[in-house]
Amino acid sequence: LKRAIDLTREVLRVPADYRIGIVPASDTGAVEMALWSLLGPRGVDVLAWEAFSRDWVTDIVEQLKLKDVRALLAPYGDLPDLAQVDFDRDVVFAWNGTTSGVRVPNGDWIAADRKGLTICDATSAVFAQKIDWEKLDVATFSWQKVLGGEAQHGILILSPRAVARLESYTPPWPLPKLFRMTKDGKLMRQLFEGSTINTPSMLCLEDYLDALAFVASVGGVEGMIARSDANARVITEWVAKTPWVDFVARAPETRSNTSVCLKMVDPEIQALPPNMRDEVPRRMALALDAENVAKDIGSYRDAPPGLRIWTGGTVETSDVKALLPWLDWAFAREKQALAKAA
């Protein structure tokens, strides 16, 4: 466990004074530990533009019931106005919106001299996008997402400012054992040295170590970023010459290089009644699954209907290239079926 923490720091170049812990319940567990343990002393700005980030709004407003909350929202395809964020407040956001394919372009919008904490769900961004650690006080991810590892284990990274908050603030609500990171007002340092709250699966741990070894074998985090960029670039080039499809993300600089989300823009499809229009990408996904070409390629269940392609660094660019003619095939198949039914 200590080796996994040390390798995580080495590969991701996490600053030496940041704490790294292995926690239960995947990225969700890591985010929940941060929200329930840290929020309360300041007002909160929470950014949401897709399904998972909206879950954090729900937690903060409806479960924690914090009074001073600004939810900065945007529809699928867009980011909230980052210039509106107040860094005197605590700020909660996702680096990469997995269900819309919209990411923050960089960390330049985050104040270096902030008074509040920045709490970032980075699960589909780490190992694929450049992360400015100095701009983050809390960062979370799972072994499952970009690394393609086993589910149910999360990583929680805390800056010295986050640790100071933990040691100076006691939430007024009860904290279950799974969320507690302090004892007698001091950080339980053993949690960040390999002594986990619960014993994780050693098989999953070995798989994580293997995944980190793979990252090293392809040139470290820079190699993984390059692989993700190459995969996304192939789709960008295909979209540019394919009239029936477009990105959900409107601005090119916000397009994800891991969770590429696509929408149907063919005029004939758009002219269909909503129930028929929405069935087109669903049937395409089923057809591709039946051909063993792609699994679970439809949009996330709470997202607008479309297609979602994973292009993280564990995916070979040749496989992405091989997929694209199949997408054209599946779309043509649907158009033909609609023509026959007319």
17 with 166, same domain? yes
> In this structure, are 203 and 251 located in the same domain?
no
Phi-psi domain of 255 (left: phi exceeds 0; alpha: psi -120 through 50; beta: other): beta
Q: What is the pLDDT of residue 290?
A: 98
Q: Do 129 and 278 lie in a common domain?
A: no
Of 184, 167, 191, which Cα lies nearest the Cα of 37? Answer: 167
Please indicate, yes or no, whether residues 229 and 207 belong to a single structural domain of this protein: no
Last residue of a domain, one of 197, 217, 237: 217
Residue with tokens 């006691």: 170
Q: Of 217, 234, 249, at which residue does a domain stop? A: 217
State residue 237's pLDDT score.
Answer: 99
Q: Report the pLDDT averaged over residues 8-23.
A: 98
Number of domains in the chain: 2
Q: How far is CA 327 from CA 198, 210, 235, 252, in A?
A: 43, 32, 11, 22
Q: Provide the domain limits for residue 4.
A: 1-217
Q: Do 230 and 133 share a structural domain?
A: no
* Residues 33 and 147 placed together within one structural domain of the fold: yes
Segment 216-259, tens digit of pLDDT: 999 999 999 999 999 999 999 999 999 999 999 999 999 999 99
The C-alpha atoms of residue 194 and residue 165 are separated, in whole angstroms, by 22
Query: Do 99 and 261 meet the contact criterion of CB atoms below 8 Å apart?
Result: yes
> HSE on the CB side for 283, CA within 13 Å?
17
For residue 196, give every residue at least 6 positions away whose Cβ sits within 8 Å of its Cβ, in sequence order, or none: 1, 21, 22, 23, 24
DSSP state letter for 60? I
pLDDT digits (tens, 9 = 90+) for 88-129: 999 999 999 999 999 999 999 999 999 999 999 999 999 999
Sign of the torsion formed by the C-alpha atoms of 278, 280, 283 and 288: negative
Q: Is the pLDDT of residue 63 over 90?
A: yes
84: left (phi over 0), alpha (psi -120 to 50) or beta: alpha
pLDDT of amino acid 342: 79
Band the pLDDT of 71: cuts 50, 70, 90: very high
Quick one: 156 and 7 in the same domain?
A: yes
- For the segment 209-214, the average pLDDT, to the nearest whole number, is 98
Helix (H, G, I), strand (E, B) or coil at 223: helix
% residues pLDDT > 90 (the chain)? 99
104 lies in the same domain as 117:
yes
Q: Give the closest residue to 27 by CA, choosing from 102, 119, 123.
A: 123
Residues 304, 228 share a domain: yes
Q: Helix, strand, or coil here: 320?
A: helix
The mean pLDDT value of the chain amounts to 98
Indicate the pTM of the whole model: 0.97
Q: Which pairs with CB-CB distance under 8 Å and at least 24 residues apart come from 218-224?
A: 218/313, 220/11, 221/11, 221/12, 221/13, 221/127, 223/313, 224/127, 224/128, 224/146, 224/312, 224/313
Interstrand relation of 182-183 and 307-310 (parallel, antiparallel or unpaired)? unpaired
> Do 154 and 182 sit in the same domain of this protein?
yes
Same domain, 234 and 332: yes
- Provide mean pLDDT across the span 12-21: 99
Per-residue confidence (pLDDT) for residue 255, from 0 to 100: 99
**pLDDT category, 210, cuts 50, 70, 90?**
very high
CATH no. for residue 185?
3.40.640.10
- 297: CATH: 3.90.1150.10
The average pLDDT across 163-188 equals 98
